Structure 1
């Protein structure tokens, strides 16, 4: 059933409910590092009954095509929106990715993997630098401080290696063996 098949009162009631959900989605998109307006754009696409062009989104949200383009590009990069092809249309069309599990996996795997790689590189380089410093210093108090810093850095490396394995479980889908997508209703 499309929105047009509802009477005016039903349309207004449904729009009110949708607006409440879109507002909540928009407010919570900061988890993904997304602005409120881009979160609202995602909410608009979530309830759209067909793929939308940038112009249609701009009209609906009362925003410029440039703002829509920036928001859509962000959502595309996060794999939360897909560009789709429609026969007879020369404009780019976009629709939301409805598999929220996959969206979660993609987003956190991308972000966490980047953080893991960056932090592991920094930690490993710093540990090696401290190794040289420890070997060169003869002051015991300085050596103790450097060794303690190295210990803390090695613990951080262990954490990032664990996080790397967690990312592997997200990317492989193995996470769903540990935490199923749906939980059976309790009797």
Structure 2
């Protein structure tokens, strides 16, 4: 972890203790994002750096193998929580944290929700078509019609929910969510 210049050992100790507490907290709570605790700790380490880091630097700081470090960084990059940066004169890949946590949250949940939405809507629509075809095929069977109509009502309600979720995801992807729920707290 980066050290501040010109600080006494007591001040440095307080800063390191505060940083460690935050890193531990981030690591423990990263399961919300489906991320392991060690990957969360890596995110916390990068958060307190004032410069991009290489995989070697991260591995040394975290005491992790280059393979584990590479996997953790790839996870964070895929979730748009960390991004690769270019630095003149450096041949190695450098990484830094995306500092806009609001956008990180929006990107992460948009990715996850969009994936779930597409899978579930596809299943619902396919099942709706099959149930509707069965309904037409057995129009004279009232007990089957009752079962099918009940199932179709449930499927239609689920489709209505996923249509709403699609619109919600669009507000995250477009940034309109921040018009509805501003980043700045009006209470100060």
Query: Which band: TM-score by shorter chain?
Result: over 0.9
What runs of 5+ residues in structure 1 fail to find an aligned partner?
none
What are the Cα deviations for residues 29-78 of structure 1, in whole angstroms up to 9, with x where unaligned? 11111111111000000001211011111111111111110000000000
Q: What is the deviation of 1:139?
A: 3.1
TM-score (norm 1): 0.95
Hey, what does 2:120 align to over in structure 1?
A: 119
What are the Cα deviations for residues 155-184 of structure 1, in whole angstroms up to 9, with x where unaligned? 000000000001111111111111111122
Hey, what does 2:21 align to over in structure 1?
A: 20
What runs of 5+ residues in structure 2 fail to find an aligned partner?
none
Hey, what does 2:159 align to over in structure 1?
A: 157
Secondary structure at 1:3's aligned position in 2? coil
Q: What is the deviation of 1:185?
A: 2.4
Hey, what does 2:43 align to over in structure 1?
A: 42
Hey, what does 1:140 align to over in structure 2?
A: 142
Report how many aligned residue pairs link the two structures. 186
Contact residue 2 and residue 49 of structure 1 kept, 8 A: no
1:49-88 alignment, distance < 5 Å: 49-88=50-89
Hey, what does 1:110 align to over in structure 2?
A: 111
Hey, what does 1:178 align to over in structure 2?
A: 180
TM-score (norm 2): 0.94
Q: Which segments of structure 1 move beyond 6 Å, counting only runs of 4 or more?
A: none
* CA distance, structure 2, for counterparts of residue 4 and residue 61 of structure 1: 22
* CA distance, structure 2, for counterparts of residue 60 and residue 4 of structure 1: 19
Q: What is the deviation of 1:142?
A: 2.2
Q: Over aligned residue pairs, what C-alpha RMSD do you find?
A: 1.4
